[in-house]
A and B are shown apart, each in its own frame.
Chain A
Amino acid sequence: MEHFFLNIAHSLIVWLMGLGLSSKGADLVLLIVQWICIVAIVTINVIVLIWLERKVAGFMQQRLGPNRLGPAGMFQTIADAIKLLTKEDIIPSAADRIIFRTAPIFFIIIAVMLYVVLPMGDGMQIVDLNVGVFYFISVASLSTICLLMAGWGSNNKWSLLGAMRSVAQMISYEIPLAFSLLGVIMIAGSLSLSDIVAAQNNIWFIILQPVAFITFFIAATAELNRGPFDMPEAEQELTAGAYTEYTGMRWALFFLAEYTNLVAVSALASTMFLGGWHGPWLPSWIWIIIKTYLVMLIFMWMKWTFPRIRMDHLMSFSWKVLIPVTLANILVTGAGIQFLAGMGW
């Protein structure tokens, strides 16, 4: 079971080479297959996640959540997806059509790009970049531009306001997000995600870097535009922020991308802090799924517990609390590493 997917990939390459393909050609075909797998996993995950989110929200509010369609309401999301697909596609007449149309596409592409570096099991990594963490953070921050595109392209003041907010928020929280990961990188001594996982063979980094984990979690929540930091959407203030003018599948793409980002960031959190795919008895890829879903459940728990934070509080929290705390964490980590190195570790 451990090498189930690896064996499939290996036999695929062997079969392709047997058909007369060069090894580079076989790798290319494998890459395409992997890409398709990512998109499929992402889509299925989103369907499950939306159902899970509704269930969690329902349970936390002493409701039952969806329970009519299918077992425990599982098919509710599928019905919603069909509804969204059949909806009328409205583009406002005053909108900047090219930007309006491309914004959701770029958003989902960027969200899928994050999966390239995530180790989904022992050796199950599409590309093992030696700057994996750096790649992840930089690509994740690109989604800000898509939100701004959506807000600007809609030609609607609420959309633009929502987009502006999200840009301000994401830029502010990118810094503590990166800083909180720095402590882990310093201990592991590598930016490669597989090296970081390997470094957690004995002890998880959440134990060595608890402050970093908490700050990372908060900053990631803000990065994901999830409650209580869902200022860009803020239904009660901005109708739907940057997504106001979007209908049907375009809107669904934004939704899809948000949940895709959620999975990616949760996977990153489990990779960086929770030991990645390390775990006893079960295969590695099941462990990463379990850990990712646990982190996502905590995200949902937070979303459905806390009220939305005010915009100025949000900004001042990032600049006045998170950044100093993460900087202090880096300082303490660095000092500790030097001290332990001096002790002869």
Chain B
Amino acid sequence: MKGQGLLKGLYITLKRAVGKDITIQYPEQMPYLQDRFRGCLHFDYTKCIVCGLCTKACPNNVLSYESRQVEGSKKKELVSYTIDLQYCLFCNLCVEACPTNTLYFTHDFELSRYQRDQIKIVYEIPKEEPSAVKVDLKGDAPEPDETKKEKQLAAMTAALQKNPQKTVRKMVENDEDAEILAGILLEDEQKLSRMAALMIADREKAKKVAVAFVNKEKKDRLKGGGAEDESK
């Protein structure tokens, strides 16, 4: 019969109007979430083995971490772990990739923030109490820095000895001065090493010293020449 559908519709709306509402009064009443619900991504740093699989699995480069080598071993340890949640598409790939269940989704879906930079979740890994051994290691730590400097110095010295004009060319105004300076440095071992150290540490100072050397040499030469002339 025509019009049956209309009555059916009226019956359904009436039933809905009388029946239970499905609205959840959200801030007061929390919704029921299934176990597999993907809320905020959580990182449990105690389990992390710094394998980097999560960062490789992430399609949006949401995850990043900083690590350092544990002294005296091949192991790495975490410095910080960052989840840039604004790019996360909650695809679960990182969670699947993690071999130690370090990453997992919580039921926290209230992810809005007032500031843009608050979206990033940064886990600063607290440093463990340094043991005695580690303190010793730390004391020796500057050593590699020192050796590096020494290496640089040696290289510079070698360069000055081998090809002095070219090495010092930028320090002085013209080729003649460069040749003069090269002569001075080659004559005096002490001056050479001092110049090399200065060139590594402080270029400006090295330039000033170089100009002073050249000027002094020129004066000496003039004097010497004059003396020679006089002697003639």
Contact = CB atoms under 8 A, between A and B. Distances in A.
A253 B129 CA distance: 74
A301 B14 CA distance: 8
A63 interface: yes
B73 interface: no
B13 A301 contact: yes
B214 to A, nearest CB: 80
Given A60-B16, A62-B16, A302 B10 contact: yes
A301 B10 contact: yes
Given A301-B10, A302-B10, A306-B6, A59 B23 contact: no
Interface string B1-35: 00000100110111011111111010000000000
A62 B19 CA distance: 8
Contacts of B17: 56, 59-60, 301
A255 interface: no
B22 A62 contact: yes
Interface in B116-170: none
A127 interface: no
A335 interface: no
A7 interface: no
A304 interface: yes
B16 A61 contact: yes
A22 interface: no
Interface in A134-156: none
A58 B25 CA distance: 14
B9 A306 contact: yes
A64 B18 CA distance: 11
A93 to B, nearest CB: 40
Contacts of B23: 62-64
Contact of A304 (B13, B18, B21, B25): B13
Contacts of B6: 306
A59 B18 CA distance: 7
A215 to B, nearest CB: 13
Contacts of A59: 16-18, 21
Contacts of A301: 10, 13-14, 17
A301 B18 CA distance: 12
Nearest to B22: A62
A305 B21 CA distance: 17
B30 to A, nearest CB: 17
A226 to B, nearest CB: 15
Of residues B16, B20, B22, which shows the largest number of chain A Cβ atoms within 10 Å of its Cβ?
A: B16
B56 to A, nearest CB: 45
A64 B21 CA distance: 7
Contacts of A306: 6, 9
Contacts of B25: 64
Of residues B6, B20, B22, B23, which shows the largest number of chain A Cβ atoms within 10 Å of its Cβ?
A: B23
Interface string A287-317: 0000000000000011011100000000000
Interface string A59-80: 1111110000000000000000
Contacts of A304: 13
A60 B12 CA distance: 9
B8 to A, nearest CB: 10
Contacts of B20: 62
A305 B10 contact: yes
B184 to A, nearest CB: 85
Interface string A30-70: 00000000000000000000000000101111111000000
A301 B16 CA distance: 11
Interface in A208-254: none
A69 to B, nearest CB: 14
A62 B21 contact: yes
Contacts of B9: 305-306
A64 B9 CA distance: 20
Contacts of A56: 17
Contacts of A62: 16, 19-23
A328 to B, nearest CB: 17
Contacts of A60: 13-14, 16-17
A39 to B, nearest CB: 32
Contacts of B14: 60, 301
B13 A63 contact: no
- 9 shortest interchain CB distances as A-B pairs: A59-B17, A305-B13, A60-B13, A60-B17, A62-B22, A64-B23, A305-B9, A63-B23, A62-B21
Interface of A: 56, 58-64, 301-302, 304-306
Given A60-B13, A301-B13, 7 more contacts: A56-B17, A60-B16, A62-B20, A64-B23, A64-B25, A305-B13, A306-B6
24 contacts: A56-B17, A59-B17, A59-B18, A60-B13, A60-B16, A60-B17, A61-B16, A62-B19, A62-B21, A62-B22, A62-B23, A63-B22, A64-B21, A64-B23, A64-B25, A301-B10, A301-B13, A304-B13, A305-B9, A305-B10, A305-B12, A305-B13, A306-B6, A306-B9
